[in-house]
A = this chain, B = another copy of it.
């Protein structure tokens, strides 16, 4: 097997995503290209192309001749994202259920365990990523690549705040319960029940996140 040759902008893309996710780059903050490029040890060229991608996903916005700024979500915006997720995830689940094989469901169960393991370790980034994999394994079974892409964008838009949510006490137990419920309903091939669990799961996250929106989060790391 030949090893992958990661192009520089893919690398930068990953770095950018995690920096936004972990709060190194805070909402509202301007991104100084030179500074960030040297921080990543690359030139500005691949950074700018990577930023154009992130901009397309709505995580940063661009103002000509002024620069890029990390987007800041207000409550209305957040509610819109969750409303769209509600509509689209229902569609994804409906399309996915008939396609899901037993082995795939088993694999999804394994990922659920990974989430729990990550939760035990307390690694916020690991939890977020594992949780994402869990849900998207279902979505991807829909065989609707464009739908999956849109859902990815919607999840990306709120991921900045999601890690804060996971940090809240008691959230992890709630998540574990919902995941178990989803899994059980998947095994029974009970579409409506899966949707019910997923809806409640999402609603719970939204109310928690809405609370967090008032109290601004503290910086994790600051880049000059």
Contacts and interface: CB of A to CB of B under 8 A. Distances in A.
28 contacts: A7-B64, A7-B65, A10-B64, A45-B45, A48-B49, A49-B49, A49-B52, A52-B52, A52-B56, A53-B55, A53-B56, A55-B56, A56-B57, A58-B146, A58-B149, A77-B145, A77-B146, A80-B147, A81-B146, A83-B144, A84-B91, A84-B147, A84-B150, A87-B87, A87-B88, A87-B91, A146-B157, A150-B150
A80 B144 CA distance: 7
A161 B55 CA distance: 27
Interface string A144-160: 11110110001001000
A60 B53 CA distance: 13
Contacts of A52: 49, 52-53, 56
Interface in A44-69: 45, 48-49, 52-53, 55-58, 64-65
